[in-house]
Amino acid sequence: MPRNEPTEVTDGWDGGRSPRRRKAVRYGVPVAVAGVAAATIGLVPAFAGSGSPDLPKISAQDLIAKIAKSDVQQLSGTVRVTTDLGLPSLPGGGAGAFGGAGHGDGAKGKDGATASPQNKLMELASGAHTLRVAADGPAKQRVSIVDEAAEYSIIHNGNQVWAYDSGTNTAVHSTAAAHDKGARWHHDRKDAPKDLPKGLKNATPQDLAQQALKAAGDTTSVTVDGTARVAGRDAYQLLIKPKQSASTIGSIRIAVDAAKGVPLKFTLTPKSGGAAAIDVGYTAVDFAKPAASSFTFTPPKGAKVVDGDKERAKAARQHGKDFKDRKGLEDFKDRGGLNVIGKGWTSIATIKGSGSGLPTGKSHGAGGDAGTFLDGIGEKATGSFGSGRVFSTRLVNALITDHGTVYVGAVDKQALIDAANAAK
Amino acid sequence: MPSPPTAGPRRAVPAERERVIETRGLTKTYRGGQLAVDGLDLAVPRGSVFGFLGPNGSGKTTTIRMLMGLIEPTAGSARVLGEPMPGAGRRVLPKVGALIEGPALYGFLSGRGNLLRFDAADPTADPRTRAERVGQALERVGLAAAAGKKARAYSLGMKQRLGLAAALLQPRELLVLDEPTNGLDPQGMREIRALVRELAADGTTVFLSSHLLDEIEQVCTHAAVMARGRLVVQGTVADLSATVLGSSGGGRLAVTTPDTADAARVLKEHGVTDLDVTGERVTGNLPVPASAAPPAADGPALDLADLNAALVRAGVRVRGFGAARASLEDVFVQLTGEGFDVAG
Amino acid sequence: MSQAEAPESEVPGTDSPPRRSPRRWSLGLLRSEIGTTFRRWRTLALLAVLAGVPVLVGIAVKIETGHGGASGGSGGGEGGPAFISQVTNNGLFLVFTSLAVTLPFFLPMAIGVIAGDSLAGEANAGTLRYLLVAPAGRTRLLLVKYATTLTFCLVATLVVACSALATGALLFPLGKVTLLSGTSISLGEGLLRALVIACVVALSLTGLAAVGLFLSTLTTSGVAAMATTVGLLITVQILDTIPQLHAIQPYLFPHYWLSFADLLRDPVYWDQLQKDLGLQALYVAVFGSAAWARFTTRDITA
């Protein structure tokens, strides 16, 4: 017992340490423990981040070629997805609605709707999520979104696609037609909303890297920026920077596995600085062949099974009425309402509106409230095009004119106004 | 008259190993600067029944808590059974039984359950003899009949007895009893005092704190007096009476007689001083013995029987005759200059 | 007086029976402490409340599905406690549901009461001074108190789990267990996982137990320590739900509590579980040593 340390016993009358000092020493223990813990928490990630492995130099071209050549068919791992788009945090699917895909809360309560992949993937558009992925060639993939005390899994095996939602104990079954087109990693994306913010519709670093490199051209500077360790593997860092000043994207950093050429981490930082807007990376990765049982799915006893093909058909019939349906933007495109102005990083999507646009604060009646609400989140903008409102997120800005035309892009406000002026 | 205490002036400073409790400059300042105990030098000889006297708030309990390792002294040091406290508490405390500031019990446990728990807290106590020792302790304090009752149903006196039983779970070298008769009826007090005497006769040193003077006077061989955190005096009970009241001698004589003038004259001839005549009552201080030693050691300078005979021979009609011995209360009032029940 | 000759003849300790060596570690105090704690009416009442929660949840689910029709009932599970949609299919899920229901408040509140009262209650009753002069030893007493609180954590969790299992087995069918990932395991393995989950839940509460013990060393009022512990729990639980505080949330002790559900994935997802147990270990180390520093240097004036 520390109170009875033998050293104290042999002390003479006045030889003992002073009580005050002893007290200070004892209180030092918890302080030291807390300090060491804080230092570990604070410094270890910093060390891990700066711990750049010593790798042979490689040019950006070679690295991109390495990615293209990479032929990893089998892997399993855990992906951490963190998105901070600066969307107003509204309950339910509100954030998704601002991202451009408007399945609202209304869709959620419907039978089977929560188990549909589209809705689930939308949830990735905000906050932090953990995904477990496994792949064995183009025909077998599995993605699970790990939620608190719940899990949402998509299992693709051959032409069978199952989605299982543990929260509602519902399984959605669909039959995949010839969607694959020989592409790697194109599992669930065929069902993903096409109108997701760029980079989000495919949730693995590989897909995001493909997207980013596709956009790279003469408007982009691509460099190799040192090395890093990701998920315990040595990786090169590819740094992609838009040259166009109007872009809201500051930089994109892709960590590429030095041995396998597989992108392991994708980080998109907005020009405004701060935390990454999109950060997707493996926290654990294994290139061994996953167990075959990972890709088999039998609906558990008692689970509700929904035929996804029928559901989709039903939704397609309904989309005419539902303006904000996930296919809404495609419809615009079909009708010629959607145009893309500019190229590279500063492309601006334009949707011609025919209506009177948004209700303004000046308008009367029920519109007044909505106008006031919009004034709260939107910013008035005027130009030679007339006037409208700019809605800003950290990455994407949108200008909605009073005429109802929408300009959306990963560009700053001025670029949108310029585009609107030019369109006039 | 109680028999003379053991330690006479020859043993005023006992050998260190003979001291069961010894403190040097023991000081405790509570947060806020309140000085509870101020430079206490206490020496309790082995085998004594040591009365620790002082009004409420004089620092008695703080001192006892420091001796038991419950409170860390601000300055100075204390040794109990020859080892430093609180450092050696693990070795010292199993040999010490204590009742500190009244009993504290688990109301939801029976009397026996309480003792079993306190005994289990002592790592040196043998669990095989636990039930037996608990039974003996209950027997000794007269609680055997109520042992199965929940302690919350106990009266204050029963709780006090149970607390005492906890102190007697093992044979102890030292018993520290803080106000052991608090809350007891006169019969209970007598029993506890008898128990203390019995324990002392077995060789256990008893350190007894009390604010009851007659209690100390009845059972203690030694005493120390505290007032406002300071030790005023310590020594044998007899020494205290003698040395402190030395100026007023061994006591005050009172003679009741109609012949006051003759009585005063005779008394004066026999060396009685400071005579005072009030009505039919003559009072005066008995002469101081030649040495400061108690009368038993050197014999009385003046035999009260002789004095009475002398009065009668002189034709004084004596109605009443008696000597009032100096009490601890007198000592205390003399030392502290205040009444006893004034809280420090 | 009879003691006149005593000091001369007395030789210290000669008549004492042989004592056991003080160095020998004794579990007697721990046994006494656990016995005392679990004999208290208050402890039994806490356990009874905890045992009642699964029964209530089970009956509620039974009534709900009874009214809601045979098949359509499960769809309405949206928004309920975790696993509740599975309960009608498999009574074993009532164990997981009950743990998920009791873990945010019921269980930790019970722990807070026991931990907060552990030393402050003794100080309040005054028995602390008698334990210490017995001498229990301050570090030993602290360890015994903490060990008893941990025992209570385990017992309380097992009470919830066993009550839920009994209720689930009575009201609902048992059978193959569907994991969160959609795969099925045998009932035996399901029971094994339930046991492991109960242990993980009990371990998740160790951090709070250490905080409660530390708070208990600060005061001599058992009620104050209990109230502070429970108040702190509620505050931290609220902080854990405020999105603006996400930077500190990974360091709040309840943050990973629901990670026990990760044991029901296929394969088991260890990341959060490790974080949970690591965080608890950190809380135990910091607050345990703080309690030790405080308790071993504190003046016992009560």
Q: What is the CATH number of the domain that holds B279?
A: 3.30.70.100
Please indicate, yes or no, whether residues B48 and B174 belong to a single structural domain of this protein. yes
Q: Is A383 helix (H, G, I), strand (E, B) or coil?
A: strand
DSSP SS3 for A108: helix
Of B24, B89, B91, the CB nearest to A13: B24
Contacts of B90 in chain A (CB under 8 A): 1, 3-4
Position B300 in a domain: yes
Same domain for B251 and B232, yes or no, is no
AA letter at A305: V
Regarding whether B250 and B152 lie in a shared domain, the answer is: no
Establish if B139 touches chain C: CB-CB under 8 angstroms: no
The C residues from 256 to 275 touching A (CB cutoff 8 Å) are 258-259, 261-262, 265, 269, 271
Write out chain B residues lying below 8 Å of A9, CB-based. 83-84, 87-88, 91
Q: Which of C42, C144, C39, C122 lies closest to B109, judged by CA?
A: C39
Which of A23, A80, A132, A146 is the best substitution to test chain C (most C C-beta atoms within 10 A)? A146
Q: What is the pLDDT of residues C26-54, one digit of tens each?
A: 688 899 999 999 989 999 999 999 999 99
What was the pLDDT predicted at C44?
Answer: 95
Region C213-218: mean pLDDT is: 94
Q: Under 8 Å CB-to-CB from B240, ≥6 apart: which residues?
A: B223, B225, B233, B328, B331
Q: What is the pLDDT of residue A115?
A: 53
Higher-confidence residue: A126 or A77?
A: A77
pLDDT the model gives residue B231: 87
Question: Per-residue DSSP letters for A264-290?
Answer: EEEEEEETT-SS-SEEEEEEEEE-SPP
User: φ, ψ for residue A386 (rounded to 5)?
Assistant: 120, -135
**Residue whose C-alpha is closest to residue B237's, from B327, B324, B337, B297:** B327
Minimal C-alpha gap between B28 and chain A (Å) = 12
pLDDT single digits (tens) C239-285: 998 888 888 888 899 999 988 988 988 888 888 899 999 999 999 99
User: How many residues are given for chain B?
Assistant: 344
Identify whether B294 is preceded by a cis peptide bond (ω within 30 of 0).
no
Do the domain assignments include residue B144? yes
Q: Average pLDDT, stretch B219-231?
A: 87
- Return the closest-CA partner of residue B302 out of B281, B325, B272: B272
Is the model more confident about C95 or about B188? C95
Q: Is residue B342 part of a domain?
A: no
SS3 (DSSP) at A228: strand
pLDDT for the residue numbered A372: 58
Of C82, C140, C293, the CB nearest to A27: C293
Chains that touch C (3 or more CB pairs under 8 A): A, B
- Per the CB < 8 A criterion, the answer to whether A208 and A216 are in contact is no
Kindly tell me if the per-residue pLDDT of C287 is higher than 90.
yes
Helices (H) and strands (E) in chain A, counts: 11, 18
Token pair of B59 as six digits: 């620092």
Mean pLDDT of chain C: 85
Q: Which residue has the tokens 């460099």?
A: A223
* Higher pLDDT, residue A317 or A222: A222
B34, part of any domain:
yes
Of B24, B72, B83, the CB nearest to A9: B83
DSSP A247: B
Whole-number Å distance between alpha carbons of A396 and A197: 8
Q: What is the average per-residue pLDDT within A121-141?
A: 81
Judge: C129–B18 Cβ closer than 8 Å, yes or no: no
The answer to the question of residue B203 being in a domain is yes
Q: In this structure, is residue B334 part of a structural domain?
A: no
Question: Which chain A residues contact residue B89 at CB under 8 A?
Answer: 3-4
Asked if B171 and B42 sit in the same domain, the reply is yes
Last residue of a domain, one of B243, B261, B288: B243
What is residue C18's predicted lDDT score, i.e. its pLDDT? Answer: 47
Mean pLDDT, rounded, of chain A = 71
Cβ–Cβ gap A11/B83 under 8 Å: no
Give the amino acid at A73. Q
On whether both B314 and B213 belong to a single domain, the answer is no
Mutation site, A4, A10, A23, interface B, largest B CB count within 10 A: A4
What φ, ψ does residue B248 adopt, rounded to 5°?
-100, 20
Residue A335 has pLDDT above 60, yes or no: no
Chain pair A-C, CB pairs under 8 angstroms? 130
Three-state DSSP state, B252 = strand
Per-residue pLDDT, A197: 34
* Contact present, A388 and A400 (Cβ < 8 Å): yes
Cβ <8 Å between A30 and C289: yes
Do residue B227 and residue B286 come from a single domain?
no
Range with the largest mean pLDDT of A210-224, A348-362, B317-331, C282-296: C282-296
Q: Chain B contact for C299, CB < 8 A?
A: yes
pLDDT, residue B306, reads 80
Token representation of residue C12? 């210290």
- Cα(B26)–Cα(B18) distance, integer angstroms: 20
Compute how many other C-beta atoms are within 10 angstroms of the C-beta atom of residue B35: 15
For the stretch A398-412, pLDDT in tens is 888 887 888 888 888
Beta strands in chain B (DSSP E): 19-29, 35-40, 43-45, 49-53, 75-80, 83-85, 96-99, 174-178, 205-210, 222-227, 230-236, 251-256, 273-278, 281-285, 320-325
Q: What's the one-letter identity of residue B295?
A: P
A242 membership: H or E segment, kind and range: strand A233-242
Q: How many Å apart are CA A260 and CA A315, to the nearest integer?
A: 41
Residues of A in contact with B86 (CB under 8 A): 3
Mean pLDDT in residue range B102-113: 91
Tens of pLDDT along C61-76?
A: 988 876 654 444 344 4
Predicted local confidence at residue C75, as pLDDT? 41
Q: Is there a single domain that holds both residue B34 and residue B149? A: yes
On whether both B237 and B318 belong to a single domain, the answer is no
Q: Which is higher by pLDDT, A92 or C161?
A: C161
Q: Which residue ranges form the domains of chain A, and what is each CATH number?
A: 2-50 (no CATH), 60-317 (2.50.20.10), 336-423 (3.30.310)
Q: Which chain B residue shows the shortest CA-CA distance from C31? A: B120
A23 touches chain C (CB under 8 A): yes
As for how many domains chain B has, the answer is: 2
B98 contact residues in C (CB cutoff 8 A): 130, 133
Residues 371-390 of A with CB under 8 A from C: none
Between CA B278 and CA B262 the distance in angstroms is: 14
| C257-272 as b/e: b if 16+ CB within 10 A | bbbbbbbbbbeebebb
pLDDT of residue B243: 62
The pLDDT-based confidence of B96 (bands split at 50, 70, 90) is: very high
C214, pLDDT greater than 90: yes
Q: Is residue B115 a part of any domain in this protein?
A: yes
User: Who wins on pLDDT, B326 or C179?
Assistant: C179
Contact present, B340 and B333 (Cβ < 8 Å): yes
State how far the Cα of C182 lies from the Cα of C193, in Å rounded to an integer.
Answer: 16
Greater confidence (A187 vs C164) lies with C164
Q: Please give the distance of CA B237 from its chain centroid, rounded to a whole number.
A: 8
CA–CA min distance B116, chain A (Å): 23
What is the average pLDDT across C216-223?
91
Residue showing tokens 């009608």: C88
Nearest to B27 by CA among B79, B78, B100: B78
What pLDDT, on the 0 to 100 scale, is given for residue C2? 39
Residues from chain C that touch B10, judged by Cβ atoms under 8 A, are: none
Question: Are B42 and B129 found together in one domain?
Answer: yes
Residue B328 burial (C-beta neighbours within 10 Å; 0-12, 13-18, 19+): buried
A321 touches C at CB < 8 Å: no
CA A330 to chain centre: 22
Q: Which two tokens stand for residue B37?
A: 């105990």
**Does C294 contact chain B (CB < 8 Å)?**
no
SS3 of residue A232 by DSSP: coil
Output the pLDDT for position A87.
63
Higher-confidence residue of A50 and B67: namely B67
**Residue A103 CA: distances (Å) to CA of A82, A83, A109, A143:** 21, 19, 11, 22
Tokens of C195: 């046991």
pLDDT interval class at C170 (50, 70, 90):
very high
- Give a yes or no: residue B291 inside a domain: yes
B172 and B287 housed in the same domain: no
B306: exposed, middle or buried (C-beta count within 10 Å: 0-12, 13-18, 19+)? exposed
Same domain? For B177 and B269 the reply is no
Q: Is B19 helix (H, G, I), strand (E, B) or coil?
A: strand
Q: In the predicted model, is pLDDT for residue A83 greater than 90?
A: no
Whether pLDDT at C286 is above 90 = yes
Output phi, psi for B202, to 5 deg. Answer: -75, -5
User: How far apart, in whole angstroms, are the C-alpha atoms of residue A242 and residue A222?
Assistant: 9
Is it the case that residue B173 has pLDDT exceeding 50? yes
Distance from CA of B219 to the nearest CA of A (A): 32
Backbone angles phi, psi at B218, to 5 degrees: -75, -40
Nearest CB to B108; choose among C1, C40, C136: C40
Report the pLDDT averaged over residues C165-184.
Answer: 89
Tell me the C-alpha distance between C23 and A41, whole Å: 39
pLDDT at B114 over 80: yes
* Predicted model pTM: 0.78
**B250 and B135 in a common domain:** no
Q: Is the peptide bond before B287 cis (omega within 30 degrees of 0)?
A: no
| CA atoms of C122 and C133, how far apart (whole Å) | 13
Residue B182 has phi, psi (to 5 degrees) of -60, 130
Per-range mean pLDDT, top range of B39-43, B57-61, C199-203: C199-203
Q: Do C180 and A303 touch (CB under 8 A)?
A: no
ipTM rounded to 2 decimals: 0.82
Residue range of the domain that includes B304: 246-325
Of all residues in chain C, the percent with pLDDT exceeding 90 is: 57
Where is A233: in which H helix or E strand? strand A233-242
- C-alpha A102/C-alpha B307 separation (Å) is 121
- Check which CATH number belongs to the domain holding B22 and give it: 3.40.50.300
Between positions 121 and 140 of C, the ones with CB within 8 A of B are 125-127, 129-137, 140
Mean pLDDT of C119-125: 92
pLDDT band, residue B123 (cuts 50/70/90): confident
Mean pLDDT of A310-315: 72
Predicted confidence band of residue C56 (pLDDT cuts 50, 70, 90): very high
